[in-house]
Structure 1
Amino acid sequence: MATSNPFEWQLFDGQKWSTICNDIFIESHYCQPGATGITINTSMGSLYIDFDAMTVSGPRANLSIRRNMFLSHNQKQEVGWYYKDNHRWCEYGSQGLSGNTSSITSDSIEQQYIQNPNGSVQFSAGHMNYTVDFTAMTQTNMYTLMMRKVRRRPKFNSTVTVNSSLPIPTMASPIHLPNTSTECIWEFMGDEGIWTEFQKPGCSLDSADIERLYQQNPQSQVSFIAGRQNYTLYLNGMYQINNRYGTKRVVRRIAGNQQINGQYSQVRWQFKDMDGFWKNYNKGGYRGYCSVSSEDIEAQYQQNPAGTMNFRAGRFNYDLNFSDMTQTNLSTYTVRDVRRL
């Protein structure tokens, strides 16, 4: 990290990531809820950074932008949630133009967002009830159906110390492996429950990039691009979030070709087959091919015990519901019991 600040803005020129000089000006602008972007002058010419989409445009193609965070294990950055009240952005918990104060604050919204970035939260202000949709980043009046824009921005150079006796609200705990000279592989849970490695050129980060950031600070956050989508990777929680849609996927770190180590491998997931016997989820095979293992299911379960996940077995696709502990064949709608041992 080039400065003592907890943040670092970097620019990808199509070949390598470079730290942007005097990025404190970008950070201070980014932390203003009303700022849509900023224009900076670089050796590549004038570039425009779009804060909502987290993209950069300029005279050259293949440009990308990312924001890294470097915090100690007992620190977190304060985040503000804002809605556009007519012509100005107001933080939740403060008094709006109508004179009413919302019954919810930025901290409480952030906690709900971390638990489920695809969800929503309801609150009241005056005699009205509202819903904040995290995916659409909108606020809706439940009576008049009026919608307002919502933004989530960090507060400038504002970090708080987390009580070490209390758990930090993350969806999954980091998988700590012993430091060895073996090259580490970073993977995310892809479609149909299949672990997929971070690789270039489809992704702006690969395993080596992520491992380097992880060694610098296991609590950091990093923005990256895959395809046409922008994501944030939370190393302290071992998950990534699609910045546009709010989709969250679990991430894991493994050493070389070793099997995933620790807590996930000690749990077995089983389904009750048509013959009445409990059978393990086994990845691979031929006629009974399954796209997930017990470790894969446990990783998703740790991320959201009330959620669901999709997988494939043979020629059928299934939905596994953690709340009901059932699996449903999405073609025949056959439902079978599931258990966790």
Structure 2
Amino acid sequence: MDSGDNMGQWQDTPANGKHYEWQLSTGGQWQPIANDHVIETHYCQPGAKGIRIHILQSQVNIDFDKLETQTAGVGVQRLLLLPPGQTEDVGWYFRDDRRWREYGSTSSGTSSSSSVSSADVQRQFALNPLGTFNFTVGSAGYTLDFSTMTQTNCATGLRRNVRTRPKFTSNTGSWVSSAQLPDGDFTWEFMGDEGIWTEYEAHICSFDSAAIETQFQQSPQGRLHFQIGSSSYTLDFSRMCQVNHVFGTERAARRTAAAAATGGPRSSSGAEPRWQFQDIDGLWKDYSQGSSVSSPDIELQYQQNPAGTVTFTTARFGYELDLSAMSQRNTSTSTTRAVRRLQQ
């Protein structure tokens, strides 16, 4: 696997006005990638892990974090094509429990915002790309380690991943971007197996809710192409459905306001406790309206009797949730899954 060593190198601005150029290398020779605005659009989304492109009579997978391909002998690089003295508008993001959030933004469920912005983090990074940077959010202190691209809570030791990406602009000829990610007010979900609504999340899908919302704001009647593992899909905003490119399978999709999707008792921070179960792949998924019970329903039962049980159904099965054992049992197959309650 090869990566480009000219990342960030300034070149003469091309005639088409783009401020970037994606290139692939085979046999030691770098060549521009046609229609690289598709790659750029994905790369600018903090929730995108990478992209698969069809080129060189084969498929090439690009890892955005490492800026390398998964194909032996094929390298990738992104050149900056800016005049001397000009800089690219970049965003710095940390991964919270649900999605990637930009530094300086106010998190959902709290009025606290970071004491630093993306610009502050970028300045510190430019001074020492392998150093650390300390900052606060409310009364909590954090350390951002550029060498590992992680953020650590100084009191609890909780570590979160960090990413930096260029700010997206629909005008590829403009190097100045005022585009901002949504503040997390909307959640995007697809109808998963057993009729359960499942959120698009960055560690599973090449786009998370925030990235999808950005695309939706730009084109509410448009379409978004993305990947989940090795499978490719199209999310059709006008029809609110997800289509598998190979099998043509369609699943319903929905966009819900975060505030409207929750209710019931809240924690002292004002955030709604979330109930999740661990699926067959080891991934934690929210209880949602796809079944006969949702997180607020479970929380209400928990507040009334923390040692009780909750019975519910999905489209195909019945389940029993043991609140004291924090487990869920399929009443038909007796399959048991772990359950957790997240205090926001």
**TM interval, short-chain normalised:** 0.3 to 0.5
Task: Provide TM-score, normalisation by structure 1.
Answer: 0.45
Task: Provide TM-score, normalisation by structure 2.
Answer: 0.44
